[in-house]
Amino acid sequence: MTTSSAPVLDRIRVGSAPDSWGVWFPDDPQQVPWARFLDEVSQAGYEWIELGPYGYLPTDPKRLTDELARRSLKVSAGTVFTALHRGPAVWDATWAHVAQVAELTRAMGARHLVVIPSFWRDDKTAELIESSELTGAQWGHLASGMQRLAHEVRERYGLDIVVHPHADTHIDTEEHVVRFLDSTDSDLVNLCLDTGHYAYCGGDSVKLIRTYGERIGYLHLKQVDPEILADVVANEVPFGPAVRRGVMCEPPRGVPDLPPVLAAAQDLGVDLFAIVEQDMYPCPADQPLPIAQRTRRFLRGCGA
């Protein structure tokens, strides 16, 4: 039930994702099995999900369709990781992966492909892979590569890409996000604004929505614990270890405050998915469901 003072967020379609069940990889013994995730995300009251890392959920379209139908679930998007800043040499390998995910995403009736730039630190070991700053030439490769990807995905699969600014990637801070937006075509390339990652990197989600509203094509709802984040920033803790410390927390315990973000998104006057993602890899198997249930109640109280 929404409270009498809560706005009606009728343009916001709320869902969740494997990430909120501690899932980062296609196959990992520390993760919740896929069938349990599907059972529990439905039990928590969500209708929409993302596919998560390709190979975590069944990749046979008929089997996955049957599994989702049994639980009254639908797919909002697939997810891919890319390293397009490395130039044309990585295109063929990138496209091979994207095509797999796009094929399954289309088969599930979804319209979005969430594109995450590659990490400059290893997401398991935190080992430095490359510089955290791109050269001018690499920015050019990134922009042109994303536009090419968006065009090919739309032409071949009828999907729209939404690029996800993410901690420990080259699209993270407000400065980098704005540079990326100013370097790409709004008719092709838009954003998946992850409120937690953007706050983690010092950004203001409401400001970004109000300034670049036409470029916001999708939302991930997430919060960060400000006390843990302060320590993470002060000690330059990599993202993986920061997650294990609990830097991503359930709402309404962290920042940004989600009601103003949801209100700003509603004011855009377009239909948007808002997918809950609370990074907590790895986590005990019995931890995600109660958090998901509380989060769903909180979002209903916000009017979603």
Residues 171-205 pLDDT 10s: 999 999 999 999 999 999 999 999 999 999 999 99
Tell me, what's the pLDDT at 4? 52
**Tokens describing residue 79:** 């997810």
Strand spans (E) along 3-149: 12-16, 48-50, 74-82, 112-117
pLDDT per residue as tens, the chain (304 positions)? 444 567 889 999 999 999 999 999 999 999 999 999 999 999 999 999 999 999 999 999 999 999 999 999 999 999 999 999 999 999 999 999 999 999 999 999 999 999 999 999 886 777 899 999 999 999 999 999 999 999 999 999 999 999 999 999 999 999 999 999 999 999 999 999 999 999 999 999 999 999 999 999 999 999 999 999 999 999 999 999 999 999 999 999 999 999 999 999 999 999 999 999 999 999 999 999 999 999 999 999 999 9
**Is residue 204 classed exposed, middle or buried when 0-12, 13-18 and 19+ CB atoms within 10 A define those classes?**
middle
pLDDT of residue 171: 98
Residues 6+ apart with CB under 8 A from 89: none
Q: What is the DSSP string of 74-99?
A: EEEEEEEEE-GGG-GGGHHHHHHHHH
Strands 12-16, 48-50: parallel, antiparallel or unpaired by DSSP?
Answer: parallel
**Nearest alpha-carbon partner for 188 in 159, 208, 166:** 159
The pLDDT, as a whole number, for residue 6 is: 74
Six-digit token string for 297: 């109640």
Residue 2: predicted pLDDT: 44
pLDDT at 157: 98
**Cβ neighbours of residue 211 closer than 8 Å, sequence gap 6 or more:** none
At 40-53, the pLDDT tens digits run 999 999 999 999 99
User: What is the helix, strand, coil percentage profile of the chain, to 5?
Assistant: 45, 15, 40
- Choices 3.40.30.10, 3.40.50.300, 3.40.1010.10, 3.20.20.150: CATH for 12-301: 3.20.20.150
